[in-house]
């Protein structure tokens, strides 16, 4: 039997990249998946099509998870479609880099409102719908949380905050059998990485040279760890931040 058979998962920001791969891997493990997207309906529909073509269950739901009213609608749609909730993957997020002299209030709030506040409010709403058996909350953080990078002060701070929230919420929600963990990927080859020009060239080579396994990650590398944390295999795992960076330590 598939390890997530009968479970229902919501994956935010799942129209592409890491989120899309997580949605597809959760579905392959037996979960019914709500593929959340903010703006890319075509991308989300493509993820749903790939899942259903393999016999899985999935539906796409639009919601901007930096907005409380959209968050409520996301989970209402989940319950309408599948009648329950077991797994939340907080993947939606943005990143912008700027040197100190270019940091503005808008730059700060744009990232914190989605990466931190949105994650917190999404979790707040999700736990209302997790049953007596509890569930699993998986936060997608980043290697830059524990290892901040120059010109990434605000983005790094959002991910450090995600890791802190993960530990705090694990302690708070543990008595309700709700496990909370975070995944901290290093460089992952996604559409976003190509869009900012980091997928090729010297920066990628530098990261690969510092990585014992000698390559950057593919989205599936992160997705397989998410399936583990979502499943009963991780039933004794909570409050953990798992570094997924091929051994990179700096």
Just list the catalytic residues.
155
Question: What SS3 class is residue 187?
Answer: coil
DSSP code per residue over 40-92: -HHHHHHHHHHHHHTT-EEEEEE--TTSHHHHHHHHHHHHHHHS-B-EEEE--
User: How many angstroms separate the CA atoms of 149 and 102, rounded?
Assistant: 16
Q: Do 38 and 91 contact (CB within 8 A), yes or no?
A: no
What is the rounded CA–CA span in Å between residue 18 and residue 223? 7
Q: How far is CA 110 from CA 27, 56, 93, 105, in A?
A: 31, 35, 10, 8
DSSP code, position 10: E
| Rounded-to-10 torsion of CA 205, 207, 213, 214 | 0
- Cα distances from 75 to residues 22, 78, 115, 131, 155, in angstroms, run 18, 5, 19, 14, 27
CA–CA gap between residue 192 and residue 156 (Å, rounded): 17
C-alpha 129: how far from its chain's center? 19
């Amino acid at each position: 039997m598939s390890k997530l058979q009968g479970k229902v998962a919501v994956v935010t920001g799942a129209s592409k990249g890491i989120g899309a791969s997580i949605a597809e891997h959760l579905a392959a493990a037996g979960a019914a998946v709500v593929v959340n997207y903010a703006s890319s309906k075509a991308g989300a529909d493509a993820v749903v099509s790939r899942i259903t073509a393999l016999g899985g269950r999935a539906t796409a739901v639009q919601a901007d998870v930096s907005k409380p009213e959209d968050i409520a609608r996301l989970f209402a749609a989940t319950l309408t479609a599948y009648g329950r909730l077991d797994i939340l993957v907080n993947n939606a997020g943005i990143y912008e880099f700027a040197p100190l002299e270019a940091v503005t209030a808008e730059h700060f709030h744009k990232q914190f409102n989605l990466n931190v506040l949105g994650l917190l409010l999404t979790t707040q709403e999700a736990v209302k719908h997790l049953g007596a058996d509890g569930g699993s909350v998986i936060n997608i953080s980043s290697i830059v949380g524990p290892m901040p990078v120059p010109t990434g002060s605000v983005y790094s701070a959002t991910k450090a905050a995600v890791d802190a929230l993960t530990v705090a919420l694990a302690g708070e929600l543990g008595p309700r059998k709700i496990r909370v963990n975070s995944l901290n990927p290093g460089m992952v080859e996604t559409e976003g990485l190509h869009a900012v020009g980091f997928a090729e060239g010297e920066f990628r080579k530098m990261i690969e040279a510092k990585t014992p396994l000698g390559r950057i990650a593919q989205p599936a590398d992160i997705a397989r760890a998410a399936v583990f944390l979502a499943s009963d295999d991780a039933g004794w795992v909570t409050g953990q931040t798992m570094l997924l960076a091929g051994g990179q330590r700096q």
